[in-house]
Structure 1
Amino acid sequence: MIKRSVSIAVLGSVLTLGGCAGSADHEVVSAYSASDEVMNCEQLTAEQVRVQAIINAVNQDKDDVTGKDMLDGLLWFPFNLIAKSNNYNSAINAANTRLMRIDSLR
């Protein structure tokens, strides 16, 4: 009974602390938007700038290593790296697809 309580406490602590890991959280945009067909050139340009800013932020985040990144690496090494890598890839791929969609509307 005591072992089970300890196991539950350890699992709860790991899950709680796991929420503190600072994995990347860049926006993953949708390729299509309901308003795409009615956007004018100015709106398409603004959307293109917004999506390019996401790509730039992901690339900058990939290049910059902060103290928080080092701490995360030590505490959550494989999990945090996997989460960040997945977010980087998803955000970049989605943004590139969105940019191609915007270009097709011009």
Structure 2
Amino acid sequence: TVSFFDGATLLGTGTVVAGVATFTTSTLGVGTHALTAVYSGDTAFNGSTSPIDPQTVTKANTTTVLTSLPNPSVFGQPVSLTATVSVVAPGGGIPTGTVTFFIGGIPQAPVTLSGGMATL
């Protein structure tokens, strides 16, 4: 088997088939990671460790869509503004954080995203 590490943290293992072991992960955080592969050896071969393979993970791009309801509205009627924030492929996951809505160019209090959506 081959064990795959991020620094001293074991990420997972893969079985050697025809001289190749593979492990796939989507859990690496944003930043630089020092990845290594450690072959455990077998009855005929000694184990070995790969050189460090620096893997840089960058932030994923997003798109934001704004909707307002009701639309149209009448003076004095409450209007709900909803921002939906989505990840652009090949990124994955659900964005977190806050959205600041602007009304007439004036920023409103930030609203926390929940499930990729924020409503004011």
Shared fold per TM-score greater than 0.5? no
State the TM-score bracket (shorter-chain normalisation). Answer: under 0.3
- TM-score if structure 2 supplies the norm length? 0.19
- TM-score if structure 1 supplies the norm length? 0.21
Higher share of residues assigned strand: 2
Of the two structures, which has the highest relative contact order with CA contacts closer than 8 Å and spacing of 6 or more? 1
Higher share of residues assigned helix: 1
